[in-house]
Structure 1
Amino acid sequence: MSQVIGQLIAEKLYHKSNLEVQSHTIITEVERVRKAINKHLNSIKNDLLYKIATTKGQQSENIDLLIKKLSQMKTNIAVIASGLEKTKQHASDYQAFLGIRKWIPEIENQEQDVISIERDHGMADVDLQLKMNKILDKMETNVSEFGRLEIYFSPPTKFALRKERQDTPLDVTIIDLNTVALTFVEKKTISLVDVISSKIMKTIPLVNKCFGICSFSGKLVVSLNDKIIKILDRSGTVESVLSKKDNATYCSVMNDKMWYAAQAKGVIYCCDLNASVQWKFSCGKSDHPQGIAHDAFGDVFVTCENANMVIIIDFNGTESRVLLTRDDGLSKLIAVHYNRKTDVLLVCNKFGLCFMYKVQTTN
């Protein structure tokens, strides 16, 4: 749970920092578009200014030419008027008549020039006007925002909240009146626990996964994976490492003998403390023998998980008999413990149920 919350915090901090990056990206894009628009507007403005200047120059030149032409016509008309006036003052009527007839063609030419100017709109007034582009003309009205800022929410990351499986102890053995030793498979440790205070007094780390454990003469015997059995003192110092014939979960020790059940092959081994096999007993692969314990005479109790029964094998491994079965309400048996002082047999199954039986010896 703590790891998941840490991941969520890290993800939110990343998104927060990413907001700054996204904001900078948007602002940069806005500036780019604004500059592009301004550049384009400046370009078309310069084109328009050039057209205005060119048109103004052309029209001014046309007006100057027209004024020059009109001025010349005015001069010509003044000359004609002066000539006519002199003719009237100094000539007889007949001579005046002849003089006027002389000036008539010239007057008609000047009239034709005036008519010609009027026809080609030379006398028209020139007004420069700009018809604005409709898009630009309505830009302030139609373009009310640079862009629409939108927020998109992506689906949140889903974290699978998996409760970490606690490593529960697999086996327990009594060291003294106040102390027991527990094995933890996945942690690969042995814990020495004070039964009065329920506190862990010491934890012994091991390299291999720890399974069954038993004690004798102040020492601990633990069955490990990789076909190994280790004998340790209470401080955790390894005194010897023994090789098993096959993988086995539980083991049991008395005096100079040790027993373990190889469940995969359905074989129970009896060996000395140097792992030399004294005898072996086959009870069938399908029986899947698991828990193992012994009485004061060296007879061995074995739980068979798949066969749903408890068998007892004599001390030399030659004879056996079925002690308890499914008919006694037993199924999927795992561990077994025998109290040699009270002759009480404790049997436990994989469902957490335990059964106690009083064992009576027969002659």
Structure 2
Amino acid sequence: MNTATGISDLKIALSSTTQMFSYVDKDDGPRSYAKRFVVIFTDGLMVASSELKTQADLLLSFPKMIVATVGIVQILTKLNMATSIPTCDVCINNDISKTASGWCLECEEAICTDCEKQHGCMKLTKNHKIIPIDNNKMPTSNLDSEQECNDHSRKLDFFCLKHSQPCCVTCIFEKHKRCQELKPLPEVEKGMTSFDSSFSNLEDRVEEIIESITGLLKEKQENKTRLKVQKNNIITEVQTIRRSINNHFDKVQQSLMEGLEKEEKTQNERIDICIEKLSAILKKVDKLSSKLEQAKQHKSEFQAFLAAFEWDKTIEKEEKAWISLQTDKISDSVDIQLDISPILMEFEKDLTEFGKIEVTYSPSKKLLIENPNQGQSLTSASSAIYKINLTNICSFQTPSGTSRETLITDIDMLDDGRIILADNSSNRRLILMSQEGELIKIIQINDICFGVAVIDKTTIATTLVKKKKIAIVDIDSSEVQRFISMSEECYGLSLAGETLVVSLDDPTFQFVNLSGKVVSSVWKADYADYCCVHNNKLYYATSSGDSVFEAKLNGDIVWKSYCQKYDFPDGITTDASGNVFVACKSSKRVLVFGKDGKESRVLLSKENGLNNPRAIHYKREMNILLVCNLSGQCFLYKVTN
């Protein structure tokens, strides 16, 4: 080792150290001072090199230089950690140090502006989500743990559709040996209709709880105000009567006032208990809402996808707590009234009480969660259809009429379980049956009917094809209450809130309110006899094109799917989750389509007794599927997942 070489190597090492801080601005605090210190030290080394003439001089000076250099490096390392300015992980791998400007949630790396541009151009990384480095508040340990199995600390590679659970290789051997629906986790993620929509579902459910509780809290406060007003009204009424009689009534009046005060206090205490419980649930849900919002901003879709399963359980728990509270008597609305004694004005001597305080309870305007146990699946929207199981409850044949032919074209179910069927034959009738298949009554109609829809517990609507009318029928009296005239022959019928949706014999569906006013008309993508409306979506099937459609209420197509050729899909209905059930008359089958329309499967076929099925209805409140052949053979199924 010669003198010149030793000095040169040491200067190169210090120069590299200086380069580490080449990007630091003048005012960058401790790093700026460190940079200057290294430069000064290097300059001093260059001066010293001119004085070291021999190898012996170098050997004597070298240990001191090494100690000084190591000290500098240690100081610089501590300064680098103290500044907490993240560096680009990609550049570090190339021995370059640059300040990071963003964080890639998929790669879990900090990247600079230049690398971010390349990141967005590469095929494998162009869809990665990058957030500003200042927004990356999520601890890396948390991000890593969510991608590992909690039981085995191994990478989560698979997803069990049966249990709706991500799993590692060890989990498969321990818990999922018999599961037939295991798929690679990336494949499941790609199969999702849209993670945003699935994650949005969690947010919607949280928001629904918040809105419901907030609404009831407002109602409770209004109830307290109303109680006070009612109390004051009663006091005024009592005082008005009291002035018309003598002092004999002072005692009974006082007794009544005490009872009134006591009852108001009792009821206010009940309301306060209800408010306290509601506020506790609301506090939890608000906290969960904040977590979801944070996750939305700081997690990748994949990370949030994994975390969402625990949130789903938490949300479901709060949904059940909210539903349980609504069914409690304590949530009922309270009113107090005065029942004036009838002998007050006439029988002064016999008067023993001024009146009675009456408390009446009326149900609150509860905003019910449509499906509190839904536990919305965050996996593929279509995978849910493979979990649908049918259990036959009952099968029956509708009674024959005056005509030998029976043509059942539509079916619906009332809330009490009674079934109404439309007979499109010359029998001109509606048939009311029990769930057990027993005839309740025949309602004769003066025209051939086609579609039928339940309006309430005593009223139904049916379409009269040739008369171009909708008949509103009272079930109890079997009488037509009124008619709604249409511009064309009318066929399938569906109820959406307070609006009837009818399929006309032209390329339109018409929305008509119960008073007969046309609300809107929507163009069909193809000719369809039947329609169904659920969750602000319009569903229909076209026999000519073997197609099934989901559309917005303005007619815009959301998705279009296909049956097999010559299936001739006709009747259509949906469950609460948005799965679509279609009766195919020619192939003698019932198909179910996932809510995204991407996948379908056969639920029922001719082996189950189907023969030209057209009438189909899903009773969402009971999870009952009704299917009826054109000949009148009907089948009731309990639907489970």
Correspondence for 1:276? 556
- Following the alignment from structure 1 to structure 2, what is the Cα–Cα distance between the partners of residues 261 and 185? 19
Correspondence for 2:123? none
- Does residue 325 (structure 1) correspond to residue 605 (structure 2)? The answer is yes
- Following the alignment from structure 1 to structure 2, what is the Cα–Cα distance between the partners of residues 243 and 284? 24
Question: What is the CA distance between 1:284 and its match in structure 2?
Answer: 2.8
Correspondence for 1:22? none
> What amino acid maps onto 1:266 in structure 2?
D
Match of 1:198 among 473, 478, 487: 478
Question: What is the CA distance between 1:171 and its match in structure 2?
Answer: 1.2
- Following the alignment from structure 1 to structure 2, what is the Cα–Cα distance between the partners of residues 283 and 214? 22
Match of 1:228 among 480, 493, 508: 508
- Other structure's SS at 2:533 match: strand
Q: CA RMSD in A?
A: 1.3
Q: Deviations over 1:75-108 (max 9, x none)?
A: xxxxxxxxxxxxxxxxxxxxxxxxxxxxxxxxxx
- Other structure's SS at 1:175 match: strand
Q: Deviations over 1:142-178 (max 9, x none)?
A: xxxxxxxxxxxxxxxxxxxxxx955321111111111
- Other structure's SS at 1:327 match: helix
> What amino acid maps onto 2:584 in structure 1?
C
- Other structure's SS at 2:640 match: coil
Correspondence for 2:462? 182
- Following the alignment from structure 2 to structure 1, what is the Cα–Cα distance between the partners of residues 590 and 489? 26
Closer, same or farther: CA 285–228 of 1 in aligned 2, 3 Å: farther
Match of 1:302 among 555, 578, 582: 582
- Following the alignment from structure 2 to structure 1, what is the Cα–Cα distance between the partners of residues 605 and 497? 34
Match of 2:523 among 227, 240, 243: 243
- Following the alignment from structure 1 to structure 2, what is the Cα–Cα distance between the partners of residues 322 and 260? 18
Contact 1:172 1:183 in 2 (8 A): yes
Question: What is the CA distance between 1:341 and its match in structure 2?
Answer: 1.2
- Following the alignment from structure 2 to structure 1, what is the Cα–Cα distance between the partners of residues 631 and 478? 24
Q: Deviations over 1:248-307 (max 9, x none)?
A: 011000121010011111101100000000001110340000100000001000000001
Contact 1:219 1:233 in 2 (8 A): yes
Correspondence for 1:133? none
What stretches of structure 2 of length at least 5 have no aligned partner? 1-424, 429-446
- Other structure's SS at 1:334 match: strand
Query: Which structure 2 residues correspond to residues 206-221 of structure 1 after superposition, within 5 A?
Result: 206-221=486-501
Q: Percent identity between the aligned chains?
A: 40
- Following the alignment from structure 2 to structure 1, what is the Cα–Cα distance between the partners of residues 610 and 495? 28
- Following the alignment from structure 1 to structure 2, what is the Cα–Cα distance between the partners of residues 347 and 170? 16
Correspondence for 1:289? 569
Query: Which structure 2 residues correspond to residues 113-128 of structure 1 after superposition, within 5 A?
Result: none
Match of 1:173 among 439, 453, 465: 453
Correspondence for 2:104? none
- Does residue 265 (structure 1) correspond to residue 545 (structure 2)? The answer is yes
- Following the alignment from structure 2 to structure 1, what is the Cα–Cα distance between the partners of residues 543 and 458? 32
Contact 1:265 1:284 in 2 (8 A): no
- Following the alignment from structure 1 to structure 2, what is the Cα–Cα distance between the partners of residues 246 and 200? 32
- Does residue 340 (structure 1) correspond to residue 620 (structure 2)? The answer is yes
Question: What is the CA distance between 1:350 and its match in structure 2?
Answer: 1.2
Contact 1:227 1:243 in 2 (8 A): yes
Q: Deviations over 1:185-239 (max 9, x none)?
A: 1111100111111111111111111110011111100011111100010011101
- Following the alignment from structure 1 to structure 2, what is the Cα–Cα distance between the partners of residues 272 and 336? 22
- Other structure's SS at 1:268 match: strand
Structure 1 runs of 4+ off > 6 angstroms?
none
Correspondence for 2:162? none
Query: Which structure 2 residues correspond to residues 112-151 of structure 1 after superposition, within 5 A?
Result: none
- Other structure's SS at 1:274 match: coil
- Other structure's SS at 1:307 match: coil
- Following the alignment from structure 2 to structure 1, what is the Cα–Cα distance between the partners of residues 565 and 504? 21
- Other structure's SS at 2:551 match: strand
Q: TM-score, normalised by structure 2?
A: 0.30
Structure with larger RCO (C-alpha < 8 A, sep 6+): 2
> What amino acid maps onto 2:450 in structure 1?
L
- Following the alignment from structure 2 to structure 1, what is the Cα–Cα distance between the partners of residues 630 and 456? 27
Question: What is the CA distance between 1:355 and its match in structure 2?
Answer: 1.1
> What amino acid maps onto 1:315 in structure 2?
K
- Other structure's SS at 1:290 match: strand
- Following the alignment from structure 1 to structure 2, what is the Cα–Cα distance between the partners of residues 285 and 176? 38
Number of corresponding residues = 198
- Following the alignment from structure 1 to structure 2, what is the Cα–Cα distance between the partners of residues 237 and 285? 39
What stretches of structure 1 of length at least 5 have no aligned partner? 1-163
